[in-house]
């Protein structure tokens, strides 16, 4: 890594203090999914506000929401002609179960083989901290920043951000910005830098099928009345055609094609299907015909049955005709698909397939729009230059198959969303032994320091 980068000396001088701060934050078990940890989530928010205040940010405060607290801070002295950037991240973490699969206690961080191991190390406290420390380092070096900078740190990302969009609308004037930067994603590899330009959307359904008031004796009633398990199986098998495409009429009508730059990046990524299968623990791959694996998981919409239950599932046998079945279905969506439009189409598709005399209730249990940043936006170019300066090669453009609040950030704030994420595919997100590779952490910090000057020049 070149020695002339802005924050290289800062990392050399402050490295141990920064690691100590990271460890102190990681010791706070801010599990937003568990009400028993609500006090810890609040402690984590207060700790984040203190970090920002100590770094030289102003108006650092815990922000109340309808659920877990968020954190806001800013530094707005670059002047009215300078662009305003908002850094987004989250301070809550996933549950740690199964605890017996952790090599080390999840909230007792440790450095092992150049990795910080703890819950939250990469998702997302570690990636947030390098953004905070980059701002501190620039302020120490220059006494100012080249951009007006804001931080918004959420406390409910790991439970679906149920109050986040309301927060964006309520705080719209304070959060207004020219660009959003998210550090909560991954790179392809330590030697293959990349930047995400999009996340898929999501709409989910909980289906309840009733064919009788209760289970019935299969000897007395079998063969004479509808079986809820059969109805569920028929619906599930009809969701896809023989080419692996979702069978809903018009499902693909609004799918936006990839740009040439995205197609080129997909071709250049060193993807190994055998390694992919090994990581997934499967013997074969399948999906939409005529599409590569990366296209299927990043750039194409999907339908997955994520749960199906009916009848008796315990030990031995129970000879019944199930009177009730449950199916849980999720659709991952891509630009320009609308979750509510997909919900309407799915509802009509279900209604046309429910047999007479069978009751079906379909409950929509969440939706997130797909997020996509124009790869040709000047701010993306600024990010790519910052990454290239640190990693020594231009980043490839990727997408990620998951979903998150980034779509709401871009839509409500009317700003492009950039992804300076330095996590790696093997960092065990949401799993035991979560890690942050510290070489990636330090590079992320230095790249964040380079980014703000690039953003200022791109908007000049």
Q: What is the pLDDT of residues 392-444, one digit of tens each?
A: 999 999 999 988 899 999 999 999 999 999 999 999 999 999 999 999 999 99
Cα 78–Cα 83–Cα 86 angle in degrees, nearest 5: 95
pLDDT of residue 259: 85
- List the domains of the chain with CATH numbers: 8-199+370-458 (3.40.630.10), 201-255+301-368 (3.30.70.360)
Whole-number Cα distances in Å, 151 to 47, 131, 177: 14, 9, 11
Q: How far apart are CA 300 and CA 335, in angstroms?
A: 9
* Confidence tier at 366 by pLDDT (50, 70, 90): confident
E strands present in 57-147:
58-63, 70-75, 84-90, 110-112, 115-117
CA dihedral of residues 430, 434, 439, 440 (deg, nearest 10): 0
152 phi, psi to nearest 5 deg: -130, 115
Residues 10-19 as b/e (b if ≥16 CB within 10 A, e otherwise) read: bbeebeeebb
pLDDT of residue 4: 75
E strands present in 146-193:
148-154, 179-182
Q: What percent of the chain has pLDDT over 70?
A: 99
**Pairing relation of β-strands 84-90 and 179-182?**
parallel
- Quickly count: other Cβ atoms within 10 Å of residue 141's Cβ: 13
Cα atoms in the Cβ-side hemisphere of radius 13 Å centred on 91: 36
Give residue-wise pLDDT tens across range 112-127: 999 999 999 999 999 9
């Amino acid at each position: 890594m070149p020695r002339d980068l802005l924050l290289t000396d800062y990392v050399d001088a402050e490295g141990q203090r920064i690691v100590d701060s990271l460890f102190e934050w990681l010791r706070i078990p801010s599990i937003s999914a568990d009400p028993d940890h609500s006090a810890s989530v609040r402690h984590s928010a207060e700790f984040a506000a203190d970090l920002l205040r100590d770094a030289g940010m102003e108006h650092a405060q815990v922000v109340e929401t309808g659920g877990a607290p968020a954190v806001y801070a800013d530094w707005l002295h670059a002047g009215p002609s300078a662009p305003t950037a908002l850094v987004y991240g989250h301070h809550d973490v996933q549950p740690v179960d199964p605890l017996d699969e952790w090599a080390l206690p999840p909230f007792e961080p440790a450095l092992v083989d150049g990795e910080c191991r703890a819950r939250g190390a990469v998702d997302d406290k570690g990636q947030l901290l390098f953004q905070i420390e980059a701002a501190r380092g620039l302020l120490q070096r220059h006494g100012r920043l080249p951009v007006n900078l804001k931080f918004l740190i959420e406390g409910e990302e790991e439970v679906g951000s149920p109050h986040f969009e309301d927060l964006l609308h309520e705080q719209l004037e304070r959060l207004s910005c020219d660009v959003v930067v998210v550090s909560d994603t991954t790179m392809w590899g330590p030697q293959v830098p990349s930047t995400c330009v999009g996340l898929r959307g999501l709409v989910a359904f909980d289906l309840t099928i009733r064919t009788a008031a209760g289970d019935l004796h299969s000897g007395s009633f079998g063969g004479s009345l509808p079986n809820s398990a059969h109805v569920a199986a028929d619906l599930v098998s009809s969701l896809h055609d023989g080419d692996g495409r979702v069978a809903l009429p018009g499902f693909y009508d609004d799918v936006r094609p990839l740009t040439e730059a995205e197609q080129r990046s997909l071709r250049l990524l060193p993807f190994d299907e055998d390694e992919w299968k090994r990581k997934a623990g499967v013997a074969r791959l399948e999906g939409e015909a005529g599409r590569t694996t990366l296209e299927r998981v990043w750039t194409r919409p999907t339908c997955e049955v994520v749960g199906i239950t009916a009848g008796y599932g315990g030990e031995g046998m129970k000879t019944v005709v199930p009177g009730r079945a449950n199916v849980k279905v999720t659709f991952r969506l891509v630009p320009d698909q609308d979750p509510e439009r997909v919900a309407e189409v799915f509802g009509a598709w279900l209604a046309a397939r429910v047999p007479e005399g069978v009751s079906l209730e379909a409950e929509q249990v969440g939706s997130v729009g797909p997020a996509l940043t124009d790869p040709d936006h000047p701010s993306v170019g600024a990010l790519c230059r910052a990454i290239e300066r640190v990693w020594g090669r231009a980043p490839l453009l990727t997408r990620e198959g998951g979903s998150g609040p980034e779509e709401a950030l871009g839509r409500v704030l009317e700003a492009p969303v950039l992804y300076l994420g330095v996590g790696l595919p093997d960092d065990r997100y949401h799993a035991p032994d979560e890690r942050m590779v510290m070489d990636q952490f330090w590079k992320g910090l230095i790249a964040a320091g380079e980014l703000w000057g690039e953003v200022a020049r791109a908007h000049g």
